[in-house]
Structure 1
Amino acid sequence: MTDSELAESRTPREPSSGRRGTNLPRMGDYNSLVVLDRIRRSRAGISRVEIAAATGLSVQTISNLVARLLEEGMIGEGARAGVGRGKPRTLLHARADAAHAIGLHVDPLTITFVLLDLTGAVVHRVLERTPERLEDAIALMAERVVELSVRVPAATLRGLGVAAPGPIDAVEGRVVHPPLLSDWGDVPLRSRLATLTGLPTILDKDVTAAMAAELWQRHHDLGGTTLFSYLGYGVGFAFAREGELLPGSSRNAGESGHLIVDPDGPECFCGRRGCLGVSSSLEHLISRGVALGVLEPFDGEPEPWQEDVAMSRLAEKAEAGDSAALEILRTAGRQIAHGIVLVADLLDADRVVFGGLNWERLAPYITAAVTAEFAASGTMRELHEVAVEGSELGPWVGAVGAASLVLDEAFTPKPSALVAQLG
């Protein structure tokens, strides 16, 4: 086999979540991203000497890389500060206006849009009710994205991230039969929006995007293994290890809705009973509320907004002490907790983060149940604790995550990609 044939044999034939063709970064580019990432994560500023100590790179290498990033306008120099012994050192910081990304999250009830800067801060955000017709929804998305794009210089806008309910076809950029979006059978959403907006566009699952939001927002040094649980109209999971997303071979990791959490629970469309997805779904919780007289029955098939209103009403009654409403949500909390512990044990996770449109309403019933479940039956309970936290991004976590995926693709150093290149 010739050298050219060998090189060709190592080239992927189609995109995947691991190898991404021949465009992997050179070592110098990787080191530059390592330095930029360290500067970005240090919100108070960081000196060249501190970067060298944190990264293991030589002071001369750091000096060269910093000079390059300064010239490119990605970072700036700030005040001088005393750091340990010796003369005060110049602190470096990421320039927020050096890069931007737009994110949108589509779900059955709302479409949320955000514009982020390089630091992950939200520059602008918009919320719209999801139109019933697919074409109306796509037109609305494109219109709002274009409106956001003109708020920043075109040269700084890195692209558009789109978060949607899974499963998705990441290679083709298609949304595949998302739940409760009846008009969305098999939609090439990535190419449609890229054509209408003129922006490089990526598509990912909403729960994967939510995990990316955590990596770029609140947990700026998120290490270990993290499980994100997204609670919307159902439940989904995403994973990260040492600050890097683990999306799976088709970017559909976390589809765990068919874990059995209650053998006597509601029947699932798969034919079994008590699957996590159906047991924790808004539809099931609301139907239980109607059956027990906590909620008024619907006149016909409810719209997503009507289910959302009913879920809020159920949570309000539980908070007011209604015994039937409390039992419904406590049961849901225990069942979700059981599923969480099963998945966390498989991953050996040391942190669980919750978020999504239904998280705040279920938080009082899930947090205590998850903590108790880990203490009673978590496999790793004798080796390490598992932190249980809630996302602080509220209903914006999906859109923020979608934009964060764009920034992550451009600016996060990924050891797995470097290893693939060296291999």
Structure 2
Amino acid sequence: MRRGHNLLAVGDYNQAVILDLIRRATAGLSRVEIAVETGLSAQTVSNVARRLLDAGLVREAGKLRAGPGKPRTLLQLEASSRYAVGVHLDPTVVTFAVLDLAGAVVADHRIPTPSAADPDTVISVMAEEIRALLERESVSTDHVLGVGIAAPGPLDSTQGILLDPPLLEGWKHVSLREALADATGFPVVLEKDVTAAAVAELWVDSGTDRDNFAFLYYGTGLGIGLVVNHDVLRGASDNAGDMGHLMVQADGPLCSCGRRGCVGDLVVPHRLVQRAVAGGVLGPDLSVDSPIDGPVDHIDFDATDRRFSEFAAAAARGDRAALRITDDAAAHLARALVSVVNLLDIDHVVCGGPFWSRIAPVMQERIERLVAEDPALIPSHPVVLESSSIGEDVAAVGAGCLVLDQTLSPRPSALLIAG
């Protein structure tokens, strides 16, 4: 538990400590309980509570009887007092989520990614969709804290720039954060999509099984969000989690990076669709039927999305050729995950992303079993594999949670007093 400070200069930090404590206690907390938990004086807690009440961020919600004496008034979060918007940019789909102050999703929406090679068009559509979604939910713009956007890496989080996402043609050095802020009028925070997904899991489930875990992101591309000791790992440039070039098959197909057998190139949806077409599981479709080891340029992502659903349905029906493809993909993913587990000593893997739910019924159990049986696995503890309870919106939800986190969570940097 974070402790507060009885220093005049750190009022904002104390306010964040108390608000965060109230947010996590869904039943509410009394001022006395807050003082005990934070180490703050009763007067400081009373002053901060008054400010939070005046701002409408918390409310008084009933009385607590704790022995003899006057009942204590409970303080609860006023979840509908503020909102955050999360956006996830994927080459196939753009997902939007509106979160209340507690991090609950009050509205979501998805659209196919429009004219992905034209960033200006996509950003303009994003801004209009955000405006329309807030209007439909009768959310005042005055109550919106900001917009979080989750996007494929690599990115420059300091400058808010997408550097050169491999599956987003035309998005090299795009100032996404500034452009979306200008288009919406809201503050914007930019985060890598796999990191945002891990953040969402931490906000939704803060139990001990979220202390050390990996989030396997299965979207148009493949990535992994990493959490160690309940902290998200971002890396030196905030680009941690690019697992697509872990080699899992020495004699595998040639990847765009110049090496063979990279896990991302073996298991991403458009590759599985190509193999399904080549193996006769699906009929030919010129928009996606390119050589298995060919480049990914000019892939028709809309067609891949549709055909992947057909492929997953065939596997679920027990089509033998489809199951051979999913079995191979599960083996490749399990081998890559063993490397991650060995490196970080994690005990949970959470799977999600726009394409995961369609293939999970035939792959999840197999991946978990293959990880457990792999002779290269070092840790002796079980490794649990599960699907995210958040669903396909996970990266957008995580982007919205980042806004809440930056706005509301206590940060030790607030204790630094400028000279």
Q: TM-score range by the shorter chain?
A: 0.7 to 0.9
Question: The residue matched to 2:410 in structure 1 has which SS?
Answer: coil
The CA distance in 1 between the partners of 2:309 and 2:219, in whole Å, is 13
Whether 1:101 aligns to 2:84 is: yes
The Cα shift of 1:96 comes to 0.9
Question: What is aligned with 2:191?
Answer: 204
Question: What is aligned with 1:5?
Answer: none
Q: Contact 2:63–2:72 (CA<8 Å) still a contact in 1?
A: yes
Correspondence for 2:131 among 135, 138, 146: 146
Q: Contact 1:334–1:366 (CA<8 Å) still a contact in 2?
A: no
What letter is aligned with 2:307?
Answer: A
- Unmatched runs of 5 consecutive residues or more in structure 1: 1-24
Correspondence for 1:136 among 116, 121, 130: 121
Q: Contact 1:161–1:203 (CA<8 Å) still a contact in 2?
A: yes
1:307-346 equivalent positions in 2, closer than 5 A: 307-346=304-343
What letter is aligned with 2:360?
Answer: A
Q: Contact 1:149–1:157 (CA<8 Å) still a contact in 2?
A: no
Task: State the TM-score, normalizing by the size of structure 2.
Answer: 0.85
The Cα shift of 1:370 comes to 2.5
Task: State the TM-score, normalizing by the size of structure 1.
Answer: 0.84
The Cα shift of 1:71 comes to 3.1
The CA distance in 2 between the partners of 1:244 and 1:419, in whole Å, is 20
The Cα shift of 1:371 comes to 4.5
Deviations 1:48-104 (A, max 9, x none): 444445445555554443333223322112122456898754332111122211111
What letter is aligned with 1:131?
Answer: P
Question: What is aligned with 1:47?
Answer: 30
Correspondence for 2:403 among 397, 402, 406: 406
Identical aligned residues as a percent? 43
The CA distance in 1 between the partners of 2:249 and 2:287, in whole Å, is 28
What letter is aligned with 2:202?
Answer: L
Deviations 1:330-372 (A, max 9, x none): 2211211221221132222233211101211232313442344
The Cα shift of 1:147 comes to 2.8
Q: Contact 2:103–2:203 (CA<8 Å) still a contact in 1?
A: yes
Closer, same or farther in 2 for the Cα pair 1:333/1:85, shift >3 Å? Answer: farther
Q: Contact 2:209–2:348 (CA<8 Å) still a contact in 1?
A: no
Question: What is aligned with 2:303?
Answer: 306
Q: Contact 1:341–1:370 (CA<8 Å) still a contact in 2?
A: no
- Unmatched runs of 5 consecutive residues or more in structure 2: 1-7, 289-298
What letter is aligned with 2:244?
Answer: G
The CA distance in 2 between the partners of 1:348 and 1:236, in whole Å, is 18
Question: The residue matched to 1:202 in structure 2 has which SS?
Answer: strand
Q: Contact 1:226–1:240 (CA<8 Å) still a contact in 2?
A: yes
1:189-228 equivalent positions in 2, closer than 5 A: 189-219=176-206, 224-228=211-215
The CA distance in 2 between the partners of 1:377 and 1:79, in whole Å, is 57
Closer, same or farther in 2 for the Cα pair 1:243/1:62, shift >3 Å? Answer: farther
Deviations 1:197-250 (A, max 9, x none): 111111111111111222222447775223211111221111234544321221
What letter is aligned with 1:211?
Answer: A
What letter is aligned with 1:369?
Answer: I
1:285-300 equivalent positions in 2, closer than 5 A: 285-300=272-287
The Cα shift of 1:381 comes to 3.4
What letter is aligned with 2:105?
Answer: V
Question: The residue matched to 2:149 in structure 1 has which SS?
Answer: strand
The CA distance in 1 between the partners of 2:67 and 2:320, in whole Å, is 59
Question: What is aligned with 1:255?
Answer: 242
The CA distance in 1 between the partners of 2:203 and 2:184, in whole Å, is 25
Equivalenced residues, count: 396
What letter is aligned with 2:364?
Answer: I
The CA distance in 1 between the partners of 2:151 and 2:372, in whole Å, is 30
Moved more, 55-64 or 229-238: 55-64
